[in-house]
Amino acid sequence: MKKIIITGGAGFIGSHVVRRFVNTYPGYEIINLDKLTYAGNLANLRDVEDAPNYRFVKGDIVDAGFIAGLFSRENPDAVIHLAAESHVDRSISSPIDFVMTNVVGTVNLLNAARNQWKGDYDSKRFYHVSTDEVYGTLGEEGLFTEETAYDPHSPYSASKASSDHFVRAYHDTYGLNTVISNCSNNYGSYHFPEKLIPLAINNIKNNKAVPVYGKGENIRDWLWVEDHARAIDLLFHKANPGDTYNIGGHNEWKNIDLIRLLCRIMDKKLDREEGTSENLIAFVADRAGHDLRYAIDSGKLQRELGWTPSLQFEEGLEKTVDWYLSNEEWLQDVTSGNYQEYYRKQYEG
Ligand code: NAD
Ligand code: DAU
């Protein structure tokens, strides 16, 4: 029996992690702690919300008193920490929100774990979910390894880098049993349509321009979200205390090539003449401080724990498009209200 607090469980990756743990480990008690910001949505978890081993708690990780109270009431065995402000463009317009949630929120959780688990750190676990963006940007060659020096460029990646440093410091200073993983770009179902792939699917579906930053030459390494959740499950159970692992898809795509592939899939799925969706591509002003290339060496995870990505990208992308086209209500719900305002500010000046 294990009681695990999963933070950010109502978000994109968090909902896949919650679903995996609730379904795979009926003997575990899973508490989903989420503030339900614009990115958090309980509809992402409809299929497990009535499971006997699942509970939702609404709360803000920035509220230290609330977090301390929750830890003392629940006395969890472990934390899997995903709650974060996660969108780079939003971090450029409002960096302080990222400092509060990603840095202060993480330190609040570390403090609560440290106090609650004092004298018994070895049997507990604090798993921190982080990003490859902490490593900065690559040129045309090379891969990020676990030894690559941190070199963040956006307020988002700076806040995630800072949170990683705090997690490591709590292991080195107090002996907290921590694990950190740094993952590349995820894609799949329940991805909020401010991010490139779901935004493009939504716009193509609605015959709206598909904004490509700069010349579309930037490269990302895409991983199916359920493969990320599977890696988190493995590492949560098997990683050594204080260790760090990179997770990635070995799947690099230039943004423009990815968008062209997506356009072809959308033409096929929507029964449109080939080339129709590509006409929607619009090159727009580049993102400030835009990292050129991310690519992950996940050799350590593959060698030590036998993890490899399960899906080819073309297959995963097609599955993702199918999901969005058959979950119209979800897409409508998350793009009504505040999303419209965000979209206008970000793309229409
Ligand atoms: P998301 O934006 O979809 O979800 C974030 C969740 O955190 C939401 O449910 C939100 O309500 C919740 N949250 C935000 N602020 C909170 C607060 N103050 N208190 C409690 N809950 C709060 O994010 P995501 O894309 O699912 O990313 C999850 C984690 O994985 C993040 O830590 C992110 O840095 C990391 N990550 C994401 C990717 C990716 O490609 N999306 C890749 C690598 C790592
Ligand atoms: O690498 C992991 C990171 O991946 C995570 O830590 C972040 O939480 C996640 O948001 C993601 O960050 P990116 O900035 O890489 O993802 P995004 O979908 O915002 O952008 C992907 C690429 O597409 C990037 O080069 C910017 C570009 N882009 C993005 C948007 C939203 C466009 O060209 N047009 C757009 O409208």
The secondary structure of 68-130 as a DSSP string is HHHHHHH--SEEEE------HHHHHH-HHHHIIIIIIHHHHHHHHHHHHTTT-GGG-EEEEEE
Please tell me which residue in 133, 164, 226, 291 is annotated as part of the active site. 133
Residue keyed to tokens 């999303």: 339
From the CA of 88, give the closest atom in ligand 2.
14
Please tell me which residue in 34, 85, 89, 132 is annotated as part of the active site. 132
Predicted pLDDT at 297: 98
- List the domain boundaries for the chain: 3-187+224-247
Indicate the pairing of strand 243-247 with strand 185-187: unpaired
pLDDT above 90: residue 90 = yes
Q: Which ligand is nearest to the CA of 92?
A: 2
Predicted pLDDT at 7: 99
pLDDT band per the 50, 70, 90 thresholds, residue 209: very high
* Average pLDDT over every residue of 188-202: 98
Predicted pLDDT at 337: 87
pLDDT digits (tens, 9 = 90+) for 5-19: 999 999 999 999 999
pLDDT digits (tens, 9 = 90+) for 335-345: 998 999 999 99
Question: For a pLDDT cut of 70, what percent of the chain falls above it?
Answer: 100
Q: Among 17, 20, 33, 37, which residue has the most ligand 1 atoms within 8 Å of its CB, making it the best to mutate? A: 37
* Average pLDDT over every residue of 59-86: 98
Coil, helix or strand at residue 56: strand
User: Do residues 21 and 94 touch, judged by C-beta distance below 8 A?
Assistant: no
Catalytic status, residue 172: no
Q: Which ligand is nearest to the CA of 195?
A: 2
CA distance 122 to 288: 43
Determine whether domain 3-187+224-247 maps to CATH 3.40.50.720. yes
CA distance 85 to 91: 8
pLDDT band per the 50, 70, 90 thresholds, residue 349: confident
Question: For a pLDDT cut of 90, what percent of the chain falls above it?
Answer: 99
Q: What predicted TM-score, i.e. pTM, was given to this entire model?
A: 0.99
Closest CA to 234 of 222, 75, 124, 226: 226
pLDDT digits (tens, 9 = 90+) for 110-164: 999 999 999 999 999 999 999 999 999 999 999 999 999 999 999 999 999 999 9
Q: How is residue 66 written in tokens?
A: 């609330």
Predicted pLDDT at 283: 98
Residue 172 — φ and ψ, nearest 5°?
-70, -35
pLDDT above 70: residue 1 = no
Q: How is residue 196 written in tokens?
A: 């490139």
First to last CA, the chain: 52
Q: Which ligand is nearest to the CA of 89?
A: 2
Contact 192 CB / ligand 1 (< 6 Å): yes
The chain-wide mean pLDDT, for the chain, equals 97
pLDDT digits (tens, 9 = 90+) for 268-317: 999 999 999 999 999 999 999 999 999 999 999 999 999 999 999 999 99
From the CA of 131, give the closest atom in ligand 2.
6
